[in-house]
Amino acid sequence: MSARPTPVTNQLIESLPPGVRNKLLKRCALVDWTFGDIICEADQKHEHVYFPVTGFISLLMKESDHHPLEVGLIGHEGMLGTSLVLGVNSAPLRSVVQGAGTALSIPADQFQSALREYPGLSNLLMRYIYVLMQQLTLAGACLHFHTIESRLARWLLMTQDRVQGDTLHLTHAFLAYMLGVRRSSVSLAAEALQRQHLVSYSRGNITILDRKGLEAASCQCYQTMAEYYARIMRR
């Protein structure tokens, strides 16, 4: 159904100059992620850095006396462990596997020496950090301004961008958790999207029927975030 490109590699790694890329790949191992794995906890040391390939993770922010709230999604377009690029060896947020799949992994100390050896690596990743900052900021504004329905649409689009196929395996309860809202609010929003024939779902499976329509139903933030990435990361 969808005409999205589904690269089976990591875009950051792809963007590296071939020499650097190969040297980095030599130090990488391919790991498998299972849904729900906690890759790192907030304020804990990074043992590894990850470049997702087919798997992807949610960044969760825990604010006292509220459920954790998703503030970002990282898949094959990004990486986990940007703190190390900034010289801080502690993760700012909890990261949880949201889509099972693979990722390239490299031990933190080896990554750090690679940063020192290849300035091109660090240049690229710093630009990625810039994009990430813009996205985190926009996500905040989005949370404030937009309805659950358009945020849900955005979330579905962003997730599909990081996954193979049109069907996502998630329940309303899970979505509610990610969006920081009630389960029944998600049910209402999802039903609205279904009535418009943009998605269809039942019992933990959501199928995206009409991406274009979903983009129209979602807030502008979806496009904007994509533009942020494209503008800064295109070679």
The contact set with its own copies (CB under 8 A) reads: 61, 63-64, 66, 69, 71, 83, 85-88, 92-93, 123, 126-127, 129-130, 132-134, 136-145, 180, 220-221, 224, 232
Residue 103 neighbours by CB distance under 10 Å: 28
Over the window 147 to 166, marking each residue x when it contacts DNA by CB under 7 A and - when it does not, the resulting string is xxx-----------------
Q: How far is the CB of 204 from DNA (least distance, A)?
A: 5
Distance CA 21, CA 222 (A): 30
Q: How far is the CB of 215 from its own copies (least distance, A)?
A: 14
Q: How far is the CB of 235 from DNA (least distance, A)?
A: 38
Distance CA 27, CA 25 (A): 5
Element (H, E) at 40: strand 38-40
Kindly give, in sequence order, each residue whose CB lies less than 8 Å from that of residue 226, ignoring residues fewer than 6 positions away.
none
Structure tokens at 120: 């091109």
Q: How far is the CB of 75 from its own copies (least distance, A)?
A: 19
Interface with DNA in residues 174-213 (CB under 7 A): 180-185, 187-191, 201-204
Over the window 75 to 114, marking each residue x when it contacts DNA by CB under 7 A and - when it does not, the resulting string is ----------------------------------------
Kindly give, in sequence order, each residue whose CB lies less than 8 Å from that of residue 183, ignoring residues fewer than 6 positions away.
172, 173, 176
Report the residue from 171, 196, 207, 220 that binds DNA according to the rule CB under 7 A: 171
State the alpha helices, DSSP H only, in the chain: 11-15, 18-27, 82-85, 108-117, 119-145, 148-160, 172-179, 183-195, 211-217, 221-233
Q: What is the DSSP letter of 159?
A: H
Q: How far is the CB of 158 from its own copies (least distance, A)?
A: 16
Report the residue from 173, 209, 226, 233 that binds DNA according to the rule CB under 7 A: 173
Can residue 141 be called a binding residue for DNA (CB under 7 A)? no
Report the residue from 72, 172, 198, 221 that binds DNA according to the rule CB under 7 A: 172
Distance CA 161, CA 12 (A): 16
State which residue, 130 or 145, has the beta carbon closest to DNA: 145
The option from its own copies, DNA, none interacting with 138 (CB < 5 to 8 A, set by class) reads: its own copies
CA atoms within 13 A on the CB side of 100: 6
Q: Are 206 and 167 in contact (CB under 8 A)?
A: yes
State which residue, 134 or 185, has the beta carbon closest to DNA: 185
Q: Which residues bind DNA (CB under 7 A)?
A: 146-149, 171-173, 180-185, 187-191, 201-204
